[in-house]
Amino acid sequence: MRVVETIAECRKELSKLRQFGGRTGFVPTMGALHAGHVSLMEICRRQVEISVASIFVNPTQFAPTEDLSRYPRPLEHDLELCRASGVDLVFVPTVAEMYPPLAQTNVSVSTLTTLWEGQLRPTHFQGVTTVVTKLFNIVQPQFAFFGQKDYQQQAILRRMVQDLDQPVRIRTCSTIRESDGLAMSSRNAYLTSEQRSQATQIYRGLAKSESLWQAGDRSPAALEHAIKTTIAEVPALDIDYVAIVDPETLKLLDTIDTGAVALVACRLGTTRLIDNLLLGNARQIVESD
């Protein structure tokens, strides 16, 4: 496994790897890797001949009041996980490498970024789409792998690559969970042991909506109510939003015909937690690219 820090080095190493042909898969990360990231890298490794990961804590997707300064950066541990997952090349750029002093170009997706996370973090998704576009331009993968846990992010990136005719296919991979259902996240490290236990109530709420769905309930209002009331059983969880939305447009549904996505965001102390659940044919929609 090669580790490079500059764009020039990354392109040089990729040229060497590609001299015998093969497809390139890419897993962009902000580091603080866990089993969810490992799953993405292993899926990538199985589906392509050349696997690339990046580790870059992107400052442009953090608001001034957010956790950029304390975001975990265990680089050596992350590199060991990349190596164990069979990654061929890891790109670990500096902020100056990705954003030189005269840079002034951003990539922005409109409507999808104004909803849900975009309402609460208005600068976040422009930072994501800009850095991902830059990384796609540098790595030039045929496939890029993202986790379902960040559902809105993958929907925005799908829209972006389609609108900009970027020659990369987005692969959305199932959320990896702890044994008690908590979605794996780098920010789980912020939780105390008590909060860690309380956080599992989010998945219990989502599971309740799935039970209703499987029993034949197709009312978005009923599913939303079930999630909210279940989460509310743990007063420490402060709900930002619960929404039953269209898998592609992310707009609220009045009725559910074939599929939907249940989105949840909560605050637990100073930590924000997001999760989601695919209902009906939403999985097929996500997997169609």
Under 8 Å between Cβ of 135 and 28: yes
Distance CA 188, CA 196 (A): 7
Closest residue by Cα to residue 53 from 14, 18, 81, 89: 89
Rounded to the nearest 5°, which phi and psi values hold at 266?
-135, 160
Distance from C-alpha of 168 to C-alpha of 139, rounded to nearest angstrom: 11
Tell me how far apart the alpha carbons of residues 70 and 142 are, in angstroms, rounded to a whole number.
33
77 is catalytic: no
Q: Which residues are annotated as a binding site?
A: 30-37, 61, 147-150, 153, 176, 184-187
List, as residue ranges, the binding site for ATP. 30-37, 147-150, 176, 184-187
Asked if 4 contacts 13 with a C-beta cutoff of 8 angstroms, the reply is yes
* Cα three-residue angle 32-38-39, rounded to 5 degrees: 135
Q: Among 287, 281, 227, 219, which residue's Cα sits nearest to residue 253? A: 219
Binding residues for (R)-pantoate: 61, 153
Q: Which residues are catalytic?
A: 37
